[in-house]
A and B are shown apart, each in its own frame.
Chain A
Amino acid sequence: MLPSSDVVTRGTAAHDQALLARLYSTHLREVWRWLSMLGVPDADIEDAAHDTFVAAYRSLASFEGRSSHRTWLFSIARHVAIDLRRRALVRREQGDQGPEQRDHAPGPDRAIEVHQARAILDALLAQLTDEQRDTFLLYELGGHTGVDIAELMEVPLQTVFSRLRRARAHVDEQTVKHFADGKERPRE
């Protein structure tokens, strides 16, 4: 939780930019990690982080302080990630492999490993709703607690665990099917 003095209020452009600079320095690391765990490819995270903070700046006027800055930024980052996922899906359906292998991706071996793992996980998660998928990833990949996810997604704790339970049931079933079909194995 941010200190109470760190309150975002609407003001002049210079004032809003100063507030954004403070939000950026406080939250960049976590925004980056959220974007990564919510499925944004490594090569797109810089763009997505940029888009998240610019969108935050543009919506400072509508921020009413009913949630924390962290929850507010998560909501923006999540929408950026969902939008990118949908655009990537359209690209794949059109036969375009997308920008996953750009030059500032990690080293070649690591990039291939991540790319393959991401493709498998995307297949396992494909039938989940955005809410189930993101709850699953925040919990299983991000190591967030149920309480933290409830705060970030602004839902009751019971809803978090209900989504997690449904997502796990589906993913576990799909994982067994995927590897039973003799498809590629992740490196253990």
Chain B
Amino acid sequence: MSDSSPPPPRLLDPDAPTPPRLRALLTALLPGDPSDEADQRIEARIFQSLDEEPHDREPPLRLVHAGHDSQRVGAKRR
């Protein structure tokens, strides 16, 4: 085979069929969907994690506009 031989069709055409052995491998790994139970478990864990986050997410500007809690604004500036 010379160096000028054309590349296989699969490298030229994105829609060319996948070779059978590779297709069999990929078929075994086709992703499924989360079960309802997994969905509920993940959601519960996420919000448990968020509840454990420090509650300092309010932007300082919001506190200035509220006109109170100036100590917290000062604390942010330090």
Contact = CB atoms under 8 A, between A and B. Distances in A.
Interface stretch (A45-53, A66-74, A82-90, A91-99): A45-53
Interface residues of A, number: 50
A186 B28 contact: yes
Interface in B1-42: 7-8, 10-11, 14, 18-22, 24-26, 28-34, 38-39, 41-42
A142 interface: yes
Given A13-B53, A20-B50, A37-B31, A175 B41 contact: no
A116 B45 CA distance: 30
A53 B48 CA distance: 12
A121 B42 contact: no
B55 interface: yes
Given A13-B55, A121-B29, A139 B49 contact: no
B31 A140 contact: no
A172 B22 contact: yes
Contact of B19 (A53, A117, A175): A175
Given A32-B34, A33-B33, A46-B38, A117 B25 contact: yes
B25 A121 contact: yes
A186 B21 contact: yes
A50 B29 contact: no
Contacts, number: 108
Interface of A is mostly: helix
A101 to B, nearest CB: 16
Contacts of B10: 168, 172
A28 to B, nearest CB: 6
Interface of A: 10, 12-13, 16-17, 20-21, 24, 28-29, 32-34, 36-37, 45-46, 49-50, 53-54, 57-58, 104, 113-114, 116-118, 120-121, 124, 139-142, 146, 161, 164-165, 168-169, 171-172, 175, 179, 185-188
Pairs of residues from A and B, 10 with the lowest C-beta to C-beta distance, nearest first: A36-B31, A117-B28, A186-B24, A33-B31, A13-B57, A188-B24, A186-B25, A32-B34, A53-B46, A50-B45
Given A13-B53, A186-B21, 5 more contacts: A13-B58, A21-B47, A50-B42, A54-B46, A175-B21
23 contacts: A13-B55, A13-B57, A16-B57, A28-B34, A28-B42, A29-B33, A33-B32, A37-B29, A49-B42, A113-B28, A120-B25, A121-B29, A140-B22, A141-B26, A142-B31, A146-B14, A161-B14, A168-B11, A169-B11, A172-B8, A175-B19, A179-B21, A188-B24
